Amino acid sequence: MNDTATNGWRHKKPACALALGIVIAVSGLSGCASGRGQPIEPSSAPGSSMARFENDRYGIVFDYPSRLDVAHAFVSDYFLGDRWNPDVAANIPGAALLSLTLPESNDITRAVLRVGASDDTRAVDVCQSTPGSEQAEHVRLRGVDFTRMDHDNAAMNHYSRVHSYRGVHDDQCVAIDLIVTGTNPGVYGPEKPSKPPFDVDDGMARLEDLLDGLVFIDTR
């Protein structure tokens, strides 16, 4: 990785040109972004182990292993809804851009990375606010300043761990959530999986590694 470590977190170097060289080699795509405002379905060259997502409207390029389960909408679970950013008011619009789920995920333990964004001025104004959180820290991802907040929840045989990143890129709010959720296997019958496919720490570490594929591009 082309990273430097600061305050216990990786600071990603702005490397659009480097990332594009890699992406072009594996995917055969020739540009840093698609037509403005058009999300591109993930694609990969035959035999490639990588795929690519682009959204020119929000200036986001994401390269990821093609074996991941991909969606462009968010699925509700016990603790989280399907909104683009669970931390802002319900009347602030935004877009659920990308959901990447580890393929081993099951009803016992699931790990998913979500990327949402909004260019609504209200979303930008409160994007990096941290009401009630004492665990917030400032980090950089690919040259963009983010606020990171970590949350653990548990109730009624369910649990979740969430690492939330909120940053402003080109006057737009970007919300990235790394989420590991789970359920006590005892609540299911014998027909359901009885063991988690990975532990919480491992699932979260693998989600954080996926952030190496994130690149921000200029939308102006």
| Domain range summary for the chain, segments of one domain joined by + | 3-216
Cα–Cα distance, 206 to 111 (Å, whole number): 9
* C-alpha to C-alpha distances, 46 to 26, 28, 60, 199, nearest whole angstrom: 9, 10, 24, 32
Cα–Cα distance, 179 to 149 (Å, whole number): 12
pTM of the model: 0.75
Amino acid at 200: V
CATH class given for the domain over 3-216: mainly beta
Please give the chain's pLDDT, 220 residues, in tens. 433 333 333 333 333 333 333 333 333 333 333 333 444 444 445 556 999 999 999 999 999 999 999 999 998 877 778 899 998 999 999 999 999 999 999 888 999 999 999 999 999 999 998 766 557 899 999 999 999 999 888 877 888 899 999 999 999 999 999 999 988 766 666 666 667 888 999 999 999 999 999 999 998 7
* C-alpha to C-alpha distances, 86 to 97, 102, 218, nearest whole angstrom: 14, 21, 26
Cα–Cα distance, 99 to 64 (Å, whole number): 11
